[in-house]
Structure 1
């Protein structure tokens, strides 16, 4: 069935408006003006028939109508979690009833260890799954340099040694292979659900059980309003991560993803396999493991999507729809941190 003509014209209209304003902004003022104009792009509306069905084992019944200014569901019926659409007390109770252990993995390699790891772990203790059993897994080539952090009851820290890669891109891409092995080992035996995060960020607000699901993807803070054809998917048809121009749902950020152990084993296996296929062909996807993660979530839709409140970049500036940032990007100092 072909899409309704008025909807098709509306998409074309907004795409053309965005292109025109973007080019004008870049020519006259630079990137910041483009970000300011981006708020004019509508995010879409969750259909009322879908609203009444939004619930899961970690949040109970959701209240998507509490946030009419943002998109609160996907086309396949998964919730997009924004502040205000769930009851945090209900989410906490449901997690406690299931007697869960939640894993949180992070890679701290090279100068990233000294620059970011302590703050990441300290703020995680304050805000990540408070009241739940948590096991942190830190992957680093220098286990002795991992800072000591005071941990609350039922929370543990494990340090796993990894090899130092020659390039930062290789560190990024090797983590899928490393995570897959860990999920098949002690991490997979200890944890019920696992979140995988980048180290160059820090917690600012409660990141609780409302984020849990069989598979969880994170909307990218810089791209959540952009039309499909302008999203930075891999477009080289030779790459295992490639998506056609009409493929893709949202652009997801590899700085945060999660799910059950079984779901993450499938995700990491897919990404590691795609990265190896590209390497054998002499290719490297535009955004490395993130490109392959986006291909996976196009083929295997996530059960839950986290709004940009769960991984926000302060450089974007204030946005009316960002009520309560949970995780913030730390300042990037690539010229100092990357060899």
Structure 2
């Protein structure tokens, strides 16, 4: 990744590389190609380039301690903190949160995804998401789908945002069609009631559940989520869109980190800018008969390359057990449900 300073070559570098290469070949022989992605745990993350500077301070977390955890990268070269457990004081963050703010949480739940995941998503959000804050849940559904009734705490509301069905692309899976219209729907909603009610937004996929405190440390003008599979990978290995015809394309020399579209957020103004950029890129690709490798996520990564996020969340804030065990993942805040790509969403 471009923001990681080069580490000094250790003694016996050639021997270490040979060992790593041999382990990779052995893994391929024993377990097949999927084992290669687990080798990322052996890749050092680099050092925070701001570690020698005075304490960073974030408006929502108080003083930050980017050097408190030397095993992981805790800030970027453009000065954005990467929030890990241990880099902030949760008690101070809770005090900083009392700022008369309304936080919006958007989630798309259509078809069987509404029936299977939404109730558990909302129940766990009530336990862990921005506890003590004013929160509005914005549930995007289609047609007359019945949103489950969940008991909400004081100062917390749920609003249903009805979406008209758009023409589906027959060759795409249902989840692909949903991902292609999400940015457009979000941008439209941000220009209406949602944008007037909430000061900051979190946009989260419904097939997850909250498992730990998700508080004001996750707020900033624009917030990107590091992808759990690739947070240790070097830039040249990251799965960015490489087809130069696509609006989401990044050159091999471009890109900082691999970000998830399953969790992102920021202020209303910042998200309007991000969603309109992604929606235009998706529309342009579709008009040309193109489909970016990771759909709206590819366009989100292009947007965050051009307009750097003010804060990054570590993979603890959105984790999948499929990635495997990682020593630095102490207390996951969001956990993925097992993937069911064939489950109808619409």
Pair 1:163-2:164 in alignment:
yes
**Unaligned stretches of 5+ in structure 2?**
169-173
Query: Superposed, which structure 2 residues align to 1:257-296 within 5 Å?
Result: 257-296=264-303
Query: Superposed, which structure 2 residues align to 1:65-144 within 5 Å?
Result: 65-96=67-98, 98-144=99-145
Pair 1:313-2:314 in alignment:
no
- Checking the alignment, whether the CA contact within 8 Å between 1:241 and 1:285 is kept in structure 2 is yes
Q: How many residue pairs end up in the alignment?
A: 334
Shift of 1:162: 1.0
Q: CA–CA distance in 2 between the matches of 1:137 and 1:6? A: 43
Q: CA–CA distance in 1 between the matches of 2:200 and 2:299? A: 21
Shift of 1:35: 4.6
Residues 286/144 of structure 1: CA separation in 2 closer, same or farther (3 Å cut): closer
Tell me the TM-score normalised to structure 1 length.
0.92
- Checking the alignment, whether the CA contact within 8 Å between 1:15 and 1:227 is kept in structure 2 is no
CA offsets 1:145-189 (integer angstroms, 9 cap, x no match):
110000000000000111335343121110100000100100000
- Checking the alignment, whether the CA contact within 8 Å between 2:49 and 2:76 is kept in structure 1 is no
1:56 corresponds in structure 2 to: 58
Q: CA–CA distance in 2 between the matches of 1:321 and 1:179? A: 33
Tell me the TM-score normalised to structure 2 length.
0.90
Choose from 269, 279, 301 the match for 2:308: 301
Moved more, 101-110 or 167-176: 167-176
Shift of 1:317: 2.0
Secondary structure of the corresponding residue to residue 120 of structure 2? helix
Q: CA–CA distance in 1 between the matches of 2:254 and 2:52? A: 23
**Unaligned stretches of 5+ in structure 1?**
none
Choose from 176, 179, 192 the match for 2:199: 192
- Checking the alignment, whether the CA contact within 8 Å between 1:164 and 1:171 is kept in structure 2 is no
Q: CA–CA distance in 1 between the matches of 2:303 and 2:22? A: 32
Residues 155/18 of structure 1: CA separation in 2 closer, same or farther (3 Å cut): farther
Shift of 1:27: 3.9
Shift of 1:109: 1.1
- Checking the alignment, whether the CA contact within 8 Å between 1:104 and 1:137 is kept in structure 2 is yes
Q: CA–CA distance in 2 between the matches of 1:57 and 1:6? A: 31
Q: Which has the higher helix share?
A: 1
